[in-house]
Amino acid sequence: MGITSPYPRENIIAGNYILADTQAFLSKRHRQQNKEILIRHSPGMGECFFVFKYSINRKNKKIFIRGL
Cα(47)–Cα(38) distance, integer angstroms:
17
Q: Where would I find the H helices in the chain?
A: 8-31
How high is the pLDDT of residue 41?
46
Candidates 59, 2, 47, 54; CA nearest to 24 is 54
Cα(39)–Cα(68) distance, integer angstroms:
16
Q: Is the pLDDT of residue 49 over 50?
A: no
Task: Please report, rounded to a whole number, the percentage of residues in the chain having pLDDT higher than 90.
Answer: 0
Mean pLDDT score of the chain, rounded to an integer? 52
Between residues 27 and 65, the one the model is more confident about: 27
How high is the pLDDT of residue 11?
53
pTM of the complete model beyond 0.75: no
The pLDDT tens digits of the residues spanning 13-33 come to 565 556 666 666 666 655 554
Q: What are phi and psi of 49, to 5 degrees?
A: -120, 130
